[in-house]
Amino acid sequence: MFADRAKIFIKSGKGGDGHVSFRRELFVPNGGPDGGDGGRGGDVIFVVDEGLNTLTDFRHIRKYVAQPGEDGGKRNRHGKDGEDIIIKVPLGTIIKEAESDKVIADMSDSSKQVVVLKGGRGGKGNQHYATATMQAPKYAQPGQQSMELFVQLELKVIADVGLVGYPNVGKSTLLSRVTNAKPKIANYHFTTLNPNLGVVDLDGTKGFVIADIPGLIEGAAQGVGLGHEFLRHIERTKVIIHMVDAASTEGRDPVEDIKKINAELEAYNPKLLERPQIIAANKIDAIYSEEESPIHRLREEFESQGIKVFPISAVSGKGLKELLYAVHSLLESMDSEPVVFEQEFFPGEYMDHPEEPFTVLKLEDGLFSIEGPRIERMLGYTNLESEKGFMFFQNFMKDNGILEELERLGITDGDTVKIYGHEFDYYK
């Protein structure tokens, strides 16, 4: 099975904590603070590897974590920076935030390298907090927290032209005849599973890439069968060729086939119907009816909508030259830039405003409690025995709206506030 989708967990490195220490040397009885800074945490970096063409590897390894920065040390020793983690993906991979399905990065440039999650900053050692009035600070800055996300990787075929149609209309035969691709060809009612790519070379013109998108069935846009996996690949293409069995060798109506496929494309992504379309009416050498011409019906129905119909035989090669030059002409009239998905999700902004809730409760008259993961972490980092450290913690409470919430609940001077085993008297 063509591995074109994978969900993985990524996490950058936490910044190392700043160190609290004081210079202690012979003949220097009152040495100043010499706590070193923590090292920077490693980044999570995605790069394009043109040697890859599937996401198979991500089905076996689903967790990618960069190294944390080392803590600072005494004698101004700076902690070592954590190593970045490099994640290699195939060209054309879309990286999305898993929960919202919003695009973080489109890896459609062969030289692309994207830092998706930045490592945490290293914390400053206590040497940075010495002042004229506080010459022996007993606290240091904690390292910045790491960033973590579940991301969805999706591989979308990068091709100029998408070839769509119901199973057994001759798409694989056409691709094998006009390109260097070697798809398996047989009467498979369950259709091709892998998108086959091939390069079309036309005399006197620049070639183009055509992709045989696996056959569509009704309900594909609702995820029936492998619908979403197939439809995903069409989003990259600039021109769509609808291939139909004009001879109705399996009893299908070619006009209805085109309408149903367009309905599936519109249900999945309405913008797909804005792409130029061409109809390849295949198997004309098997048309024996002397009654109404299926080619005439197709032209009457669709050419008024600007969709040209080309009668062809993928087996004999009849009409293929005209079809390919018409496709080339359409491509020449279009913007040469590849279809690129714009960034919609910015991990940095998400982490700058972490949605870590805090809980402020009035337990009884004169007694309140405060809880929350960031508050618990800050307590672990802060020396509350130090006046400066206590003020640092109090400012954190004010900046995060916690004091405001206490006042809203009716706290007054002298009331008690409990925070993870600590008790404080409140004074405004």
> Which residue in 180, 340, 288, 308 sits closest to 240, CA to CA?
308
Helix (H, G, I), strand (E, B) or coil at 116: strand
Instruction: Write out the two tokens for 12.
Output: 């950058």
Which segments of 242-346 does DSSP mark as H helices, in order? 254-268, 294-302, 320-332
- Between residues 45 and 180, which one has the greater pLDDT? 45
Residue 289: predicted pLDDT:
61
> How far is the CA of 408 from the CAs of 4, 370, 401, in angstroms?
52, 14, 11
Residue 251 CA to residue 289 CA, distance in Å, equals 13
Task: Please say if the pLDDT value at position 63 is more than 90.
Answer: yes
Check: CB of residue 281 under 8 Å from CB of residue 249: no
Q: What is the mean pLDDT of residues 250-269?
A: 86
Q: What is the pLDDT of residue 59?
A: 82
Instruction: Decide: helix, strand or coil at residue 152.
Output: strand
For 334-360, what is the mean pLDDT? 70
Mean local confidence (pLDDT), 46-64: 87
pLDDT tens per residue, range 100-117: 888 999 998 877 899 999
Q: How confident is the model at residue 290 (pLDDT cuts 50, 70, 90)?
A: low
316 in Cβ contact with 286 (< 8 Å): no
* CA 291 – CA 280 distance, rounded (Å): 21
Question: How much of the chain, in percent, has pLDDT values that exceed 70?
Answer: 83
- In our burial notation (b when 16+ CB lie closer than 10 A, e otherwise), range 22-40 reads beeeeeeeeeebbbbbbbb
Task: Locate 296 and state its tokens.
Answer: 């005439």
DSSP 3-state of 62:
coil
Rg (CA), the chain: 32
Average pLDDT, the chain: 81
> What would the pLDDT profile of 297-329 be if each residue is shown by its tens digit?
899 999 999 999 999 988 888 999 899 999 999
Pairing relation of β-strands 93-97 and 148-155? Answer: antiparallel
Helix (H) or strand (E) holding 10: strand 5-11
Beta bridge partners of 5: 154
The pTM is what?
Answer: 0.61
Give residue 189's pLDDT.
37
Q: Comparing 68-77, 185-194, 353-362, which segment has the lowest mean pLDDT?
A: 185-194
In sequence order, the 6+-apart residues with CB closer than 8 A to the CB of 177 are 314, 317, 320
Structure tokens belonging to residue 107? 């890896």
Please tell me whether residue 220 adopts helix, strand or coil conformation.
helix
Residues 6+ apart with CB under 8 A from 426: 368, 406, 411, 412, 413, 414, 415, 416, 417
pLDDT over 90 at 78, yes or no: yes
pLDDT average, residue stretch 60-86: 94
Mean pLDDT over residues 188-207, rounded? Answer: 64
Residue 187 is predicted with a pLDDT of: 38
Packing angle, helices 320-332 and 171-178, rounded to 10:
80
pLDDT at 358: 79
Given a cut of 70, whether residue 121 has pLDDT beyond it is yes
CA–centroid distance for 101 within its chain: 8
The more confidently predicted of residues 158 and 412 is 412
- Does 262 or 86 have the greater pLDDT score? 86
d(Cα 114, Cα 347) in Å, to the nearest integer?
12
Which residues face 64 on adjacent strands? Answer: 10
34 Cβ contact list (under 8 Å, min separation 6) = 21, 22, 23, 74, 75, 76, 125, 127
Pairing of strands 277-282, 239-245: parallel
How far is 125 from 128, CA to CA, in rounded Å?
6
**pLDDT reported for residue 224:** 46
> 177: how many CB neighbours lie within 10 A of its CB?
17
Contact, 214 vs 230, CB < 8 A? yes
Digit-coded pLDDT (tens) for 129-142: 777 777 777 778 88
**pLDDT (0 to 100) of residue 150:** 94
Residue 198, pLDDT > 60, answer yes
Q: Which two tokens stand for residue 297?
A: 């019906």
